[in-house]
């Protein structure tokens, strides 16, 4: 099983840089908090997929974008990262993908969000994020 790793640099004035790695593949994402807060959307997305509901997160690069897609398949989750020129979903092309158990796919994102939360980033660097649903995700994953 390939491992998912997510790292970030501290956000600055509404921009955050991530490095998402799946096995030996790695993608750098420099995302804006406009028009959406992708960190909040990631909290919501992993909550939904832990409950068996397909979800996605738009990481807006202004104008391009990445879409993280989480699709429950039985006891597994298919994770896919697509790149979309001008953030047009119809033009999206797969960049990374991984299918694994819910824990294998979702725990790295859960840990990333908890680590992001630990820094308590504030405006003007990053908007408020409501992390309450993370406890439900942890319970769904058996932790």
Mean predicted confidence (pLDDT) in 23-36: 96
Would you place residue 54 in the very low, low, confident or very high pLDDT band (cuts 50, 70, 90)? Answer: very high
Residue 130 included in any domain: yes
pTM strictly above 0.85: yes
Range of the domain at 38: 4-119+126-136
Q: Could you tell me the CATH number of the domain that includes residue 58?
A: 3.30.2450
And the tokens for 51? Answer: 């409950």
Q: 107-142 pLDDT, tens per residue?
A: 999 999 999 999 999 999 999 999 999 988 888 877
What is the C-alpha radius of gyration for the chain, rounded to an integer number of angstroms? Answer: 14
Q: 38-48 pLDDT, tens per residue?
A: 999 999 999 99
Q: What is the pLDDT of residue 126?
A: 97
Asked if pLDDT for residue 1 goes beyond 80, the answer is: no
Residue 48 included in any domain: yes
CA proximity to 129, closest of 11, 20, 26: 11
Rounded Cα gap, residues 94 and 101, in angstroms: 20
């Amino acid at each position: 099983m390939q491992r998912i790793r997510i790292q970030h640099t501290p956000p600055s004035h509404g921009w955050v840089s991530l490095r998402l790695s799946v096995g030996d593949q790695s993608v750098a994402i420099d995302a804006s908090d406009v028009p959406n807060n992708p960190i909040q959307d990631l909290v919501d997305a992993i909550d939904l997929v832990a409950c068996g509901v397909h979800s996605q997160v738009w990481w807006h690069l202004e104008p391009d974008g990445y879409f993280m897609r989480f699709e429950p398949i039985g006891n597994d989750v298919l994770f896919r990262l697509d790149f979309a020129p001008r953030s047009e979903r119809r033009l999206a092309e797969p960049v990374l993908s991984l299918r694994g158990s819910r824990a294998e796919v979702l725990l790295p994102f859960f840990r990333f969000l908890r680590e992001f939360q630990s820094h308590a980033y504030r405006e003007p660097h990053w908007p408020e994020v409501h992390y309450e649903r993370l406890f439900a995700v942890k319970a769904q994953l058996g932790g």
